[in-house]
Amino acid sequence: MADIVKGEAGLSRAVELLAAGEAVALPTETVYGLAADATDGEAVAKIFEAKGRPRFNPLIVHVADMKMAADIAIFDSLSRKLAAAFWPGPLTIVLPLRIGHKIHPLVSAGLDTVGLRMPDGLAHEVIARLDRPLAAPSANSSGRISATSAAAVAADLGPKIPLILDGGPTPVGVESTIVKIEDGMVRLLRPGGVSAEDIEAVVNTPLLRGPSEKIEAPGMLASHYAPAAAVRLGATALMPGEALLAFGSFAISGSPLATRNLSPSGDLREAAANLFSHLAELDASGASTIAVTPIPKHGLGEAINDRLARAAAPRDNPATAK
């Protein structure tokens, strides 16, 4: 059961646990977040595990200052203007990831963009002391409403996490507004704590609304997560020219062009942390097909299988959109 802690003692325990690769609940000005070191894949996998998320949605990355933000993403003049006006605060800006950034691919769900925000209050203090960016979705089980108090977090996720940093009720109470910069325009992806009018006043132009032609909500297209190579699931034997994505000690016949094992010991948390990088590496091998051995469907296995099913789905077929 999670300890609920407050004040300076709570703050330092939260930082300690985060530095040790744990997922910890903490207050932001919007809602409580379930946070982990955004550069540590296994720590981030613990977030998905605790929330019971059936799929790997990209997570918002929380930073303490513009230096940390600029190490992660590329800002243009518009996004810089928005950050100057609303950070720290309840605005998330989706930006292109910078080459050489340290964000783990599980956080961005393998996308080349990242949702960034600089929170206020205790969360800000934790990130500054940790000196590392934090990935944090709202601290609630998948499908439940966001928690705005430590007690609400405890009632939902208490048995699954080690610590809840209690900062009292969150002042904003709804999630951050999410915007994306598109060709010099700002698109509203999710309404939230900063009003559209306030954003329009800063950028001096009406917001674009609704989904763009580019894919915004990951998972909208079944084939969205696809590598260049075809993906073949549930493989029990290899065909010539295939690369192999294995799990555990599953034995398979044939000689792969390249091999990665998501977790030789069969640990689903480790497998989740390795999923995107292994897929990318096998894709880079030039194989026309990546064969994937069966992966258990329990726990994080559900999200891993969901992601792989999307990677294996027929390409460019709007009929498979969901």
- Residues lying near ligand TXA in the complex (CB under 6 A): 28, 30-31, 33, 57-60, 90, 92, 94, 108, 111, 113-115, 136-138, 175-176, 178, 189, 216-218
Q: How far is the CB of 209 from ligand TXA (least distance, A)?
A: 15
Smallest distance from ligand TXA to CB 234, Å = 28
The CB-nearest residue to Mg ion is 138
Rank residues 57 and 277 by Cβ distance to ligand TXA and give the closer one: 57
Nearest approach, Cβ of residue 211 and ligand TXA (Å): 10
Give the one residue of 28, 39, 138, 261 binding Mg ion; rule: CB under 5 A.
138
- Decide whether 94 or 222 has the Cβ nearer to ligand TXA: 94
Binding of residue 148 to Mg ion (CB under 5 A): no
Contact in structure between 257 and 209 (CB atoms under 8 Å):
no
Q: At what angle do helices 301-312 and 268-284 cross, to 10 degrees?
A: 20
Return the number of the residue (43 or 60) whose C-beta is nearest ligand TXA: 60
The Cα 30–Cα 119 span in angstroms is 8
Q: Which residue's CB is nearer to ligand TXA, number 193 or number 256?
A: 193
Q: Minimum Å distance from CB 290 to Mg ion?
A: 31
Is the Cβ of residue 57 or residue 320 nearer to Mg ion in the bound state?
57
178 binding partner (options Mg ion, ligand TXA, none; Cβ < 5 to 8 Å by kind): ligand TXA
39 binds, among ligand TXA, Mg ion, none (CB under 5 to 8 A by kind): none
List residues binding Mg ion (CB under 5 A). Answer: 138
